[in-house]
Structure formats: structure tokens, C-alpha cells
Amino acid sequence: MVVELTFVLLLVMSGEKVEYTPYQSLSECLSVRRKIKRNTGSDEKWSCKEMKVKMEDGNILEFIEE
């Protein structure tokens, strides 16, 4: 398990993180966000944020709040 600062594509609904995926760069995160919005046409609350997270094998285990 490692703690790192990474860009996370988040889907937040009713104040809860429903879905999240880490990315190495902001441009990669924003590109995926645009594709999701274009293909689904949804008004869901997708956002890209730089966050400190605990990760293992490329998966987010926990968000570290500061």
C-alpha cells in the first residue's frame, strides 16, 4: 500500500463518492470525463480532482482528507 498524490475522476451523488478512477495526468482525466459526458449525455456530477489517496495495485483503497 502506498500513499500518493494523483488525479481522480470522481462521480459524486448526494455528497457520496459513487465511482472513482485514478489517472496520472489532469489531461488524461479530463479527456475521459469529456468522453463519458458525450457518450452518456448525462448531467451527473463528474469531476477531476488532485487528491491524496492510499493505493494498492493501481486501485484506490482510501481517500486521505487534509
Domain ranges of the chain: 2-63
| pTM: predicted TM-score of the whole model, two decimal places | 0.84
Q: How far is CA 6 from CA 25, 43, 53, 63, in A?
A: 8, 25, 7, 11
Residue type, 34: R
Q: What is the pLDDT of residues 4-55, one digit of tens each?
A: 999 999 998 888 999 999 999 999 999 999 999 899 877 778 999 999 999 9
Is the distance from CB of 60 to CB of 20 less than 8 angstroms?
yes
